[in-house]
Amino acid sequence: MSGGLLVAGTTSDAGKSVVTAGICRWLVRQGVKVAPFKAQNMSLNSFVTREGAEIGRAQAMQAQACRVEPTALMNPVLLKPGGERSSQVVLLGKPVGELSARGYHGGRQQKLLGTVLDCLAELRGTYDAVICEGAGSPAEINLRRTDIVNMGIARNARLPVLVVGDIDRGGVFASFFGTVALLSPEDQELVAGFLVNKFRGDVSLLEPGLDMLHGLTGRRTYGVLPFRHGLGIDEEDGMAVSLRGTVRESNVAPPVGQDVLRVAVCAIPLMSNFTDVDALAAEPGVVVRFVDRPEELADADLVVVPGTRGTVRALQWLRERGLADALVRRAADGRPVLGVCGGFQILGEHIEDDVESRAGQVDGLGILPVRVRFAREKTLTRPVGEALGEHVEGYEIHHGVADVTGGETFLDGCRVGAVWGTHWHGSLESDGFRRAFLREVAAAAGRRFVPAPGTSFAALREEQLDRLGDLIEEHADTDALWRLIESGAPQGLPFISPGAPA
């Protein structure tokens, strides 16, 4: 078997990433050797593979759903926005330059099709099945000519397409019909059917509509997935705390200590790898929220300044909003602050940036004894070390090179009083280290908070992936889905007018 499937969506955030991960986990539990694939991803939430390649975190989590190690083949093109109109292009895990949206869609994107197809072919030659994820909608008619992630990849690789629609938003029938009706006859031949996502209520009330949709399009619905709180994998973009809902709704005991711990995350522009705080939200008694006003820091026991694709821009934003002054006062008062990657750089004394913002010499907040110089070469590593007496693992994605001139050593960065800074993403996923860090924070904040001794972030993540697999197994027609993956789209699917414009 060398099966495949493209999971497309009626819109962005229809549930493509979640459904892809769920299908992957369902397949691997059936003994199928499966891999995820997304030809092109636009996200500031990325991950570093063991070979030092940068890919989208969603694909890394889908690889975990498959119980395989993520590689650059699974996400050959990653676009990291640096503003409204330009992105850094990461090809096979390495940055190759900055391009405007017009420049990318005007020619560069189509030139990458061969690389994308080669990666997919290599995966299909290695695995029994490859479950591909589309991007946005396949019916974006203005982008179809240069598309390499939706129908462009489906047509070239002859992949059947399953279209996911979020019924919780409303208008799902129109979205399904309109998606098919705006595709060319050749593209429509590959659209096998639909999957309804986030349904609330009695499915029997929905079934007449599904029958009518079948009559209108000649295409069946492969399942109706119920709405479930707390389901999701690492987000591509947004400010969701992926595991927070899971912890709140599971049978987790109340806080072990007498107090909760309040964490405020500064919602800086171009925020990247905000999933660093997921591990904090997974702890019983830890409340995480995103903030953008200085008064919202007042009752926080810990403030996190997260990573960003625009360090100088984020620093300016903090100053304009009064958050910079609030952070400086907070540090002077001995109240806990954690800076991660770009946030670590912001807390330093000085930034020299001729690469990312090209702003040259810029003063940082001066909270930590660190001077940062941006290098053209990007650091992409998976460091391992020790801090606070505990084993720590993480990953680094940054152009900034830090010269630490004082303070106590903290991972690759430093600590001064109750302020910590590091380039390491993902360090808080190390359970022992996270608990030790939270004990330090609680002591500095004067809170009687005690970390729960048994919280395992890895186990919570596995539990979530299993819940996604359960959702597919229990609410999708898995026999029909299997035939689709193995044999391709059904023959003789009707054309729905008007089709794609000339």
- Active-site residue list: 341, 425
Structure tokens at 349: 């004394």
Alpha helices in 67-219, H assignment, sequence order: 101-103, 109-111, 113-126, 151-157, 172-181, 185-188, 203-217
Residues sharing a CB contact under 8 Å with residue 250, sequence separation 6 or more, in sequence order:
none
- C-alpha 153/C-alpha 119 separation (Å) is 11
Count of other CB atoms within 10 angstroms of residue 502:
4
**368 within 8 A of 423, measured Cβ to Cβ:** no
To the nearest 10°, report the CA torsion of 282, 284, 285, 290: 10
User: Helix (H) and strand (E) counts for the chain?
Assistant: 17, 27
Structure tokens at 307: 């990573």
Q: Is the torsion defined by CA of 44, 49, 52, 53 positive or negative?
A: negative
495 class by beta-carbon count within 10 Å (0-12 exposed, 13-18 middle, 19+ buried): middle
- C-alpha 131/C-alpha 35 separation (Å) is 6
